[in-house]
Structure 1
Amino acid sequence: MKHLLPRDAHEFVQKNPDALFVDCRSDAEYFFVGHALGAMHVAWYDAPDWDLNPEFVTEVKKLAGHSLDRPIVLICRSGKRSVEAAQVLEQAGFTDVSNVLHGFEGDLNAERQRGKLNGWRHDGLPWEQF
């Protein structure tokens, strides 16, 4: 697994149109907090029970056109869930998986706020909210 800073991940996705950019946060985070422009949504785990999505690998395979060699870039809130999801994808045979460090919202600062230190939004990268 590779680890990319948000700006590097954005550049990679822009330069590699075959790359599949996957946001693995919950439905609520993806739709209401916002998401990186161009990211497809496949929840790693979700409400109400916060169980792991048993179809995660299958859903990513479908989006990847069943190609295990297609570059996959994963993003979550802070870069932790995406590491777990990336490990599972690698175990399933994916060969080119990257994690976005600090995720979409970034790490917590001293006041326990996100978006103040780092992350996709903090870096001013393109995003949208429904």
Structure 2
Amino acid sequence: MEFLAPSRAHELLQQRADALFIDCRSEMEYLFVGHPIGAAHVAWNDGPHWEINPHFIVGVRKLAGARSDRPIVLICRSGNRSAAAGEALERQGFSLVYGVLHGFEGDLDARHHRNATNGWRCEGLPWEQC
């Protein structure tokens, strides 16, 4: 799995029409915090118990079609869930898996706030809120 800066991940998505962009955060994060424009939602884990989604791989396979060589770009809040989800995809035969460094909201700053130091939103990349 390769990790890309948000701007580089956005470039890859623009250059590769076959790339699949997956937001693997919880449904509540996806809906209420916002999400990158064009990202499909397949939660890696979700509430109320935050267990790993047993249907994650199946959900990604459904979106990817029969191609395990299709580029898959994963994003979560800060990068940790994307790493775990990406490793699971690679174990299942997906060969081009990328994670977005610092995720959608980025790392905590000195005041324990996100969206201020790095991440998709901090870099001003396209996103929307439902």
Give the TM-score normalised by the residue count of structure 1.
Answer: 0.99
The Cα shift of 1:67 comes to 1.1
Q: Counterpart of 2:45? A: 45
Secondary structure in structure 2 of the residue aligned to 1:73: strand
Q: How does 1:56-95 map to 2 (within 5 A)?
A: 56-95=56-95
Give the TM-score normalised by the residue count of structure 2.
Answer: 0.99
Q: Counterpart of 1:32? A: 32
The Cα shift of 1:59 comes to 0.5
Structure 2: runs of 5+ lacking an equivalent: none
Structure 1: runs of 5+ lacking an equivalent: none
The Cα shift of 1:107 comes to 0.3
> Across the two proteins, how many residue pairs are aligned to each other?
130
2: CA distance, partners of 1:33 / 1:43: 14
1: CA distance, partners of 2:42 / 2:100: 15
Secondary structure in structure 1 of the residue aligned to 2:49: coil
Cα root mean square deviation, aligned: 0.5
The Cα shift of 1:110 comes to 1.0
2: CA distance, partners of 1:118 / 1:53: 27
Instruction: Give aligned-pair identity as a percent.
Output: 60
